[in-house]
Structures are given as structure tokens and as C-alpha cells.
Amino acid sequence: MDAIIQKINDSHRDYLGDESRRQGQAHWIAFPRNKSELGCVLKWTHTRKIPITIQGSRTNMMGLAVPHGGCIINLSQNKEIIEIEGQKPIIHVSAGVTLSEIYNNLWGISQDGQPLFLPLNPTEGSATIGGVAATNAFGLLSEHYGDASEQIERVEIFTKSGEIKCLPGIQLAQGIRTGEVITEVWLRLVPLPEERWGILFLFEERVSAVDFMESAEQKKVGESAHITAMEYMDREAICYGKQVQQQQEKRPLLKPEQNPGALVYLELHGRVSGVETLAEELLEVFESQGGGENDALAFTGANEIEQVYAFRHGLVEGINAALAQGKRVKNLWHWRNQNHSIRQIMEECDRFLEERKQQGIVYGNPRNLYMEIIESYQTQGRLP
């Protein structure tokens, strides 16, 4: 077992944290390369009653990959694209395969002449599929395609005692038991849309953004095009995204002089004519609600849309970086919503903050909204 399970030393320092910038501690670490080695590690920890922390690429922004003693089991070396079942169509992979590796393997895959893709897109492509499944992750496209549980056919799981069982993907919404480890995942593929557009709408005030999102909800699904992403960011969230963008010297999503009070990002998938028609309708709604011609930014194709995804990922990086530097105290409020309107969610955010006399940073989509609660400032009340 010494070749698989090692005592923690200085070379493992990076594995004591994740992208949340939190740091933990552990006594041992293991990098099982296959199910046989994983079974040995789980048997070793189970018989000794040693707590475990499961890791993949450690891209989690919530600190879920941070160990609190015991043994780290890192699955990043358990990589195998096992099978692409074209007739279903499903791709079968091991837990340590990253989303980017899956996307690359889907290049050129089609069914009845129709290219296929995986719409599961948390904003970090280096995330392992095991971590995505275990956390029932979601991405910007979850507005239409759903979260991980809705896109996964089934998973294979090792129990903490080393037994193997299978679960249908939909059960991931209820979570997996402590000590259980996802080893393999079967993912459903869908037809690649003929056209893909992204449109960024900028607003002076949040109330206008909420009005627009409610109007967009009414046009979400059409005959030949649909809105697949609806992402909201308030002024402070935008501020963090711009700051990280400047630090990374990436192509700017927003110009320095653009400082909106809120923004809404919509992504449209479908046939060319349908996407064009839906975009025109949304622009008409935007203009009827006071939106200016220069306050709607269009992106076409995967490369341009990736700028928006990078900005969204960057704002969370910026918030976590501020926390790590001690600039403020952070509490996270996460609303996974199924039954409430956008306006109801925003009103609930306001009540939550007003009752506690706190300020917040709000971002996300109607299905999954985040609010970072600002408890103290060390920068004279301004962020970041």
C-alpha cells in the first residue's frame, strides 16, 4: 500500500486546498489509477476508520475539495474514455477524466449525420467528471439543459466498504452518501445546435434587469430556437470580473468605461433563422424597456462565447482572492430554485440583506443564484 498511499509532505501542499483559496490538513494522500487501486485505498481507510476527502482537479469554488484530516483520495490519475455508445448516444468515462478531455473526444462524433455535444458546462473545463457528478454541478447552460443529474444516465459508485453499486443520474440531485466515491459516469449527448449566439445586455439599474429577465422568460422556448443560458450579475459582481480580467490581461469583455449597474447574459441555441428571429425579439424588448443600442453586445460561435464564460469564472476567482487576502469576511448564500419567479428571488435577497443590515454581491441564474454577504470592509466600504 505504500506505493499507493503516501504520508503528506511538502510536495503535496497544493492538495490541501482548492480554488476557494481555503487550506486544510491531512495525514495521507493517495492517487489511485484504477478501480482496483481505489478499492484497496477505501478498504484501508474503512478498516482503520480514517476519514477521507475525495478530490479531482480541485476546481471547486466552495471548498468541497479541502481536507479536514484523514486521507485525501485524488482521482485525477484515473482517466479513461471507456466507450462512446453512438446509438443511444452516451459517452462512458472514468471519474478522473476532465470536461475538456470529454469535449475533445467528442470532436467529429455524430448520430445520423448530426454532430453531438455535451451541454454540461461548469465554467472550469479542467473539472473532473467525478467531481461534477458528485456535486450535481451546473453551468450557464443549465437554464435549458438542466444540471448534472439531468444529463447523466447513471454512475458507478464504490461504497466506503469497497462494494460497487450503480445509481441513475437523477438520484445525484439528492446527493451521495459520505464516504462513497463515484468511479465511472455515463453521460447523455445531445445534437449540436446549428447556431449559437450569446448576447450581453447592460442595465443602469437592477430593477430594469429583472424586468427584462421576466420578459425573456416568456420567449425562452421557440419552435426553432431557445434560450439556453440566462445569467445575472450585479454591479459588485461585474466589478470583480473586470478586476480579474485586467490582472490576467485577457481580451476585455467590457471596456473600462462601461460600468453597468447590472448585466444579463442570454445564450441562444437553434436553427440559424430561429436564433436570428429570437435575438431580434429580445433586442426589441430591451429597447422598449429603455436599453440603448450600444448596451447590447453580441457573441457568435464557441470562441467568442468563451469570453463570457471566462468573465463569469473570473468574478468568483476575484471574490475568493479577496477572501484569501483578508479584505473582507464572506458568507455564501446559494439558492437552488425550481418554483419561484426571478422577481421573488431578488426580493428575497433584498429582505435577507435588509434584515441583517448587510451588503451583498449577487450573481447566477434563476435556477442557481449566489449571494456573497459582505460582513466587513477594510477598504473604506468599497469593493473590491
Same domain, 84 and 216: no
Same domain, 245 and 149: no
Same domain, 162 and 16: yes
Same domain, 44 and 154: yes
Same domain, 167 and 279: no
pLDDT at position 378, please?
Answer: 40
Strands (E), the chain: 5-7, 28-30, 52-55, 71-74, 81-85, 90-94, 110-111, 114-117, 152-158, 164-168, 181-188, 190-191, 195-203, 225-234, 262-270, 296-300, 328-336, 359-365, 368-377
- Mean pLDDT along residues 356-383: 69
Same domain, 268 and 211: yes
Residue type, 243: Q
Classify residue 159: in a domain, yes or no: yes
pLDDT at position 375, please?
Answer: 61
- Mean pLDDT along residues 363-375: 80
Q: Round to whole Å and give the CA distance between 214 and 81.
A: 41
Q: Round to whole Å and give the CA distance between 247 and 262.
A: 22
pLDDT above 50 (res 381): no
pLDDT at position 5, please?
Answer: 92
Residues 185-226: tens digit of each pLDDT: 999 999 999 999 999 999 999 899 999 999 998 888 777 999
Most confidently modeled range among 1-5, 76-80, 192-196, 253-257 = 192-196
The residue from 160, 191, 222 where one domain ends is: 191
pTM: 0.84
Residues 280-316: tens digit of each pLDDT: 999 999 999 889 888 999 999 888 998 898 898 888 8
Same domain, 84 and 2: yes
pLDDT at position 330, please?
Answer: 59
Number of domains within the chain: 2
Residues 87-110: tens digit of each pLDDT: 778 999 999 999 989 988 887 788
pLDDT at position 257, please?
Answer: 84
Classify residue 384: in a domain, yes or no: no
Contacts 24+ apart (CB under 8 A), 292-296: 295/201, 295/202, 295/203, 295/260, 296/199, 296/200, 296/201, 296/202
CA atoms within 13 A on the CB side of 97: 20
pLDDT at position 324, please?
Answer: 65
pLDDT at position 19, please?
Answer: 77
Same domain, 174 and 199: no
- Mean pLDDT along residues 23-39: 92
Same domain, 155 and 104: yes
- Mean pLDDT along residues 169-176: 87
Same domain, 22 and 131: yes
Classify residue 383: in a domain, yes or no: no
Same domain, 254 and 157: no
pLDDT at position 342, please?
Answer: 84
Find the range with the poorest average confidence among 10-19, 33-42, 168-177, 328-337.
328-337
Same domain, 132 and 233: no
Classify residue 45: in a domain, yes or no: yes
Dig out the grid coordinates for 321 from the structure: 482572492
CATH code where residue 268 lies = 3.30.70.2190
Residues 122-136: tens digit of each pLDDT: 767 788 999 999 988
CATH code where residue 183 lies = 3.30.465.10
pLDDT at position 162, please?
Answer: 76
Q: Are 234 and 363 in contact (CB under 8 A)?
A: yes
Provide the terminal-to-terminal Cα distance of the chain, rounded to the nearest Å. 47
Q: Are 215 and 285 in contact (CB under 8 A)?
A: yes
Classify residue 226: in a domain, yes or no: yes
Classify residue 287: in a domain, yes or no: yes
The residue from 191, 217, 250 where one domain ends is: 191
pLDDT at position 382, please?
Answer: 38
44's enclosing H/E stretch is: helix 35-47
Classify residue 265: in a domain, yes or no: yes
Residues 230-282: tens digit of each pLDDT: 999 999 999 988 888 877 766 788 888 889 999 999 999 999 999 999 999 99
The residue from 151, 175, 191 where one domain ends is: 191
Task: Name the average pLDDT for the chain.
Answer: 86
Classify residue 157: in a domain, yes or no: yes
Residue for cell digits 470532436? 107
Q: Tell me the pLDDT band of 327, cut-offs 50, 70 and 90.
A: low
Residue type, 214: E
Q: Which domain holds residue 71?
A: 1-191
pLDDT at position 13, please?
Answer: 92
Pairing type for strands 52-55 and 71-74 reads parallel
